[in-house]
Structure 1
């Protein structure tokens, strides 16, 4: 049986960031990805935003790792020439009733260690973004955008340059602890395989719980319930009316931040995501959502031309909280939690997972004493 040092399951941003951090000459690392391409799910179906760390519970892993990850990510992009732009974001109160939400966000951000938000009033908002309707806003200069695909490729290159090996179309279907670590069984391009690894990192994203259920010795009580939450995105044809990202106040009783406006590095404007809980992974986009999207967007962009609103794509977040429940934190599960040495499970790594990916990888390396 082939034996390696580390098996990383999943070649999204998390798995590849862990591989890039852990890979060294003389250290055998295998990244097993079930799909034909890297980053086929959550890592490539998102807003491509580098988050500042504004919304999360103070003291949470999301708050801590977003701040650390943000700075690591900007530095990585500079070093590895990954296209990005520190474009800035405006969090907008559309009426006086929402000023309290704006104040609460400012207080929460400061409690999380984000101290560069700039309160602005209506006149300044109109100067910055004439097409936006609002009575006040917060400007977040640390928010940025990134080419997520280029980022994934840079992580892959960094890992492979240090000796890590990526295998696609390879599905790990069973993990079994033994005296020398773990025995992983599954199929690779349709053929069965088995290998031994000293340590395993489950970075399966939407499928992390599925793998955990096939891990011998891992009690069901240690596998948090997965809640699949789909978000749809619509693009806006023609010239974008904004220079910044535009975020409305978070909507009450939803799992998201409201349908916000983001720009990609080519200047394409898109709106989303909404929130829809699912039973199964399904990326279909209902074109009938165009009008509800338009109504939500017109609260802060009243001159929206709905004829320019076109179906884009959808993404799915691996949430640990269900409808109506408080947002759950990242769950980095180690032997201290489940009693199985050499196994780390990464559960519920939704937004800001892309921003936090390098910080999560650093945390994983520390947990493995590497």
Structure 2
């Protein structure tokens, strides 16, 4: 696959540089020699000498990871006329965290006022609705209710309402339990926040559209190709790439050698669960750039033995540590699912993160923990009606019992880093810019794809 990638990359770059015959002759010679000798030529055991034994090519922008964030960034760069190469380790796009979400378009209610998460979620929600409407992406502004099932939860519910209003979320209102149960007859609660702008989206259709636009504007996607590290080289960053198949037998103890080097001034590490491990493998990047990372598995169960959904809106309980509670989600096909819960993962090794070898199985016995949580707001849930659905893993910057962390936006020698693969309005970067005003940082983000 990587050899095909090189050939595609050669054709991609050559289309924009046809007039440079000298460059093209050198380029063909380089790739031709590499393709012919790659299988027999031994790699240097010293990782620092890879630039002398491995073919190297320059690309204006490299996006690592083809989840929804990486795809959206690639599209934005391509729309600005930038030369973009997206490197993805899986056989296709969106196979990681992006395919294991609840597919909810969040309103921006929960986040602290003036935080990046609040600003980007509110703005990104409107952008996402507009994009889906313009590109016929299946979606629905279904609305949701955040419920307090006990009197002790009402103060927290009031705090959530005030926070959402501060964040500029339109249409929020508090209703008594009687009024909430008129909206949703199967619901049981004392009070509820009604959020009319919350919605659901077909995430695969969204990603497919973003990929199509990116490719139509010249971006190249290469799959089955894994970035295993990189190094700083002057004002550039050199990315180390190998075929994903070559990692199957890797045990994590031997040195990984690249088969191709990509040099660029703009790198976007949008590898989701792999982002922290990959960032640590960039030589020359200060160790303090990479914030601590935490992982929480969440399982979903689907509602069976019913032909009609008991709810027309999304139903959310009061948030819990590490998540927003086991809630009700309805997909565009009318399927009802409950989740996710929060199961903290102690550690994630490089093998698991690079090769997406996480445990995504859903133990049917976990349903026993779901029933009492769901029955707090849905008392008519019948025994045996929950079936295992799917699971996902949240990459987080705060751990158990810690205050939720905001996005980290920093500037590190044009090295941009993404840790949480959420929707396109949310991303992380490298180091610096800590003391600038919020407006200045937002302005910097808008210039991200223009400079």
Give, in angstroms, the shift of residue 174 of structure 1.
Answer: 1.9
Unaligned runs of 5+ in 1: 336-340
**1: distance between equivalents of 2:443 and 2:140?**
24
**2: distance between equivalents of 1:246 and 1:188?**
44
**2: distance between equivalents of 1:32 and 1:302?**
48
Q: Is the 8 A contact 1:92 1:137 kept in 2?
A: yes
Unaligned runs of 5+ in 2: 1-55, 247-258, 349-357, 430-441
**1: distance between equivalents of 2:332 and 2:339?**
17
**1: distance between equivalents of 2:113 and 2:295?**
25
Pick closer, same or farther for the CA change 1:276–1:220 going to 2, 3 Å: same
SS at match of 1:152: helix
Give, in angstroms, the shift of residue 364 of structure 1.
Answer: 4.7
Q: Is the 8 A contact 1:17 1:357 kept in 2?
A: no
SS at match of 1:306: coil
Q: Does 1:124 align with 2:196?
A: no
Corresponding residue of 1:266: 333
Corresponding residue of 1:231: 298
SS at match of 1:23: helix
Corresponding residue of 1:338: none
SS at match of 1:68: helix
Q: Deviations over 1:79-135 (max 9, x none)?
A: 111100000000111132222121111111112222420211222212110000012
Aligned pairs (5 A) from 1:41-190: 41-179=96-234, 181-190=236-245
Between the two proteins, the alignment pairs up a number of residues equal to 360
Q: Is the 8 A contact 1:185 1:195 kept in 2?
A: yes
Q: 2:313 aligns with which of 244, 265, 271?
A: 244
SS at match of 1:207: helix
Give, in angstroms, the shift of residue 32 of structure 1.
Answer: 0.6
Q: Is the 8 A contact 1:245 1:261 kept in 2?
A: yes
Q: 2:90 aligns with which of 27, 32, 35?
A: 35
**2: distance between equivalents of 1:203 and 1:95?**
40
Q: 1:299 aligns with which of 370, 376, 394?
A: 376
Q: Is the 8 A contact 2:145 2:313 kept in 1?
A: yes
SS at match of 1:327: coil
Corresponding residue of 1:213: 280
More strand by percentage: 1
Pick closer, same or farther for the CA change 1:359–1:256 going to 2, 3 Å: closer
**2: distance between equivalents of 1:159 and 1:283?**
30
Greater shift after overlay, 353-362 or 169-178? 353-362
Pick closer, same or farther for the CA change 1:368–1:267 going to 2, 3 Å: closer
Give, in angstroms, the shift of residue 189 of structure 1.
Answer: 4.9
CA RMSD of aligned residues (A): 2.0
SS at match of 1:332: coil
SS at match of 2:311: coil
Corresponding residue of 2:447: 366
Pick closer, same or farther for the CA change 1:355–1:50 going to 2, 3 Å: farther
Give, in angstroms, the shift of residue 208 of structure 1.
Answer: 0.6
Q: Is the 8 A contact 1:18 1:365 kept in 2?
A: no
Q: Does 1:356 align with 2:411?
A: no
Aligned pairs (5 A) from 1:253-292: 254-278=321-345, 279-280=347-348, 281-292=358-369
Give, in angstroms, the shift of residue 177 of structure 1.
Answer: 2.0
**2: distance between equivalents of 1:358 and 1:331?**
8
Q: Is the 8 A contact 2:170 2:197 kept in 1?
A: no
SS at match of 2:145: strand
Q: Is the 8 A contact 2:117 2:426 kept in 1?
A: no
Structure-2-length-normalised TM-score = 0.76
Q: Is the 8 A contact 1:72 1:359 kept in 2?
A: no
Q: 1:310 aligns with which of 359, 384, 387?
A: 387
**2: distance between equivalents of 1:80 and 1:151?**
9
Give, in angstroms, the shift of residue 257 of structure 1.
Answer: 1.1
CA radius of gyration, larger in: 2
Q: Does 1:343 align with 2:398?
A: no
SS at match of 1:175: strand
Corresponding residue of 2:73: 18
Q: Deviations over 1:230-250 (max 9, x none)?
A: 000000022210000000112
**1: distance between equivalents of 2:68 and 2:310?**
31
Structure-1-length-normalised TM-score = 0.92
Corresponding residue of 1:197: 264
